[in-house]
Amino acid sequence: MNALAKTAAAGLLLASSGFAAAQEPPSVAKDLTTVITLLGLPCGEVVKVEPKGENDNVATCKDGHRYRVYVNADGRVVAEKG
């Protein structure tokens, strides 16, 4: 992934993380869909978001895939299958 895509993914994830304590608005699911797509992973559309912490969410996709999407210690956005 190029630097621009990584920056965009990090920005989207950080922007969406402010809603972790409240009910997730639809824009968070859209942001995570974009992040997962930019990382080149199959998803289609995120239909459920489970906040795990700041900058840390579990996204469930319409196609059944689940990913933990978070910012690692190096400041990179990571999506792990789970």
Question: Structure pTM?
Answer: 0.70
Of the candidates 7, 4, 2, the one whose C-alpha atom is nearest the C-alpha of residue 76 is 7
Percent of the residues in the chain that have a pLDDT greater than 70, as a whole number: 68
Residue 24 confidence (pLDDT) above 90: no
- pLDDT of amino acid 48: 96
Residue 67 confidence (pLDDT) above 80: yes
> In the chain, what is the greatest distance between 2 CA atoms, to the nearest angstrom?
32
The Cα 56–Cα 47 span in angstroms is 16
Residue 39 confidence (pLDDT) above 60: yes
Non-local (6+) Cβ contacts of 16 within 8 A are 27, 28, 31, 32, 57
pLDDT band at 22 (very low <50, low <70, confident <90, very high): very low
